[in-house]
Structure 1
């Protein structure tokens, strides 16, 4: 789930239905963020909202996903695919060199510092990946019970 939300931070355009839910449950699963999410969430949402959603592993509503920079627009559920198709068609009709150059500029600005943050995230994740906390969190999740970290 968190990996999917991390992927959305790297997309140019994201539309979702009004009943969509997102989450960044890394900590609840005994993991730490990866893929630059700790930097991108803070850059997009501000520290307070990013900390709330990441530290508490709270569900993220569509309106919160907009505030956090995860998505661009919330649509009625049955309008997501048609709107996505329209956006893709519009992009496909733009001058490709100008489009690609502009995307490169936007991504460079947005992703500045991400490489270093991803390295720090991976190092931190690797320190916890086979630990007792992560195993207990995962087992509790699979067994639908509250984890015991004592």
Structure 2
């Protein structure tokens, strides 16, 4: 597929997916959904990809849905927004959560609405110091989607999640880091290099093990303590049978750097 709304490249084990509608603050339209879906499929099936990095071009990371791409004519039949969520946003969030590799998001500017919640669906989020996060749905009478009502309370607690969703206040990157919404806030000029360096570093690590870590932590939010202990046992069984575990132990015993293959 020739991309018009995103950029996608694979180098050094890292797939970099860049949202590229800067004139529309990288908001999603039908075409962008299709292209992102295709890029994620490529990342999933490529044996060369061991980490995914998502970012945006221009002054915004993603403003969520491009409202001009929907029928909001007051004289027309009311749109079924649930269909759009079921077709586009829910599969996107599920794909990011299920991808068997680390997923880094580098938030280069405003992340609003679904754009904020797409970022929160990634495994590690870095943000430029000038970036911000807005649950903008309430401004137009909508409900946070793209996993926002599930992820946000778990990141910041019930009271903050409720206020952020009902007031639609803008949260700075520094505040987001202080509240535990993101991993790290960095200077604007350092964001791209730091995110790419992290992605390349993760791409050299035991990918299967990192995927099992991802699965364990995701599952912990719904499991009881006893269920989580059982899951840790089962996942450790799988991890202990990987080639990377054998290489890691050998490198430790031989006092050398490990050469992980992601297998």
Q: Same fold (TM over 0.5)?
A: yes
Structure 2 counterparts to residues 28-67 of structure 1, below 5 A: 28-67=139-178
Q: 1:41, 1:69 within 8 Å by CA — same for their partners in 2?
A: no
**Structure 1: gaps (5+ residues):** 114-150
Partner of 1:79: 190
Please state whether the residue corresponding to 1:26 is helix, strand or coil.
helix
Q: Which has the higher strand share?
A: 2
Superposition deviation, residue 109 in structure 1: 2.1
- Inter-partner Cα distance in structure 2 for 1:8 and 1:103: 16
How many pairs were matched up? 112
- What RMSD in Å do the two structures reach over aligned CA positions? 1.6
**Does residue 99 in structure 1 map to residue 210 in structure 2?**
yes
Of the three residues 122, 128, 140, the one matched with 1:11 is 122
Superposition deviation, residue 68 in structure 1: 4.3
Superposition deviation, residue 70 in structure 1: 3.1
Q: 1:5, 1:70 within 8 Å by CA — same for their partners in 2?
A: no
List per-residue Cα deviations over 1:78-122 (Å, max 9, x = no partner): 010111011101110111211111111122224x39xxxxxxxxx
Range moving further from structure 2, 83-92 or 98-107: 98-107
- Inter-partner Cα distance in structure 2 for 1:106 and 1:63: 24
Compare CA radii of gyration and give the structure with the larger one: 2
Q: 1:41, 1:68 within 8 Å by CA — same for their partners in 2?
A: no
Partner of 2:244: none
- Inter-partner Cα distance in structure 2 for 1:14 and 1:28: 25
Superposition deviation, residue 69 in structure 1: 3.6
TM-score (norm 1): 0.68
Of the three residues 12, 17, 22, the one matched with 2:133 is 22
Q: 1:63, 1:74 within 8 Å by CA — same for their partners in 2?
A: yes
**Structure 2: gaps (5+ residues):** 1-111, 224-263
Q: Which has the higher helix share?
A: 1
RCO comparison, higher one (Cα < 8 Å, 6+): 1
TM-score (norm 2): 0.40
- Inter-partner Cα distance in structure 1 for 2:154 and 2:214: 18
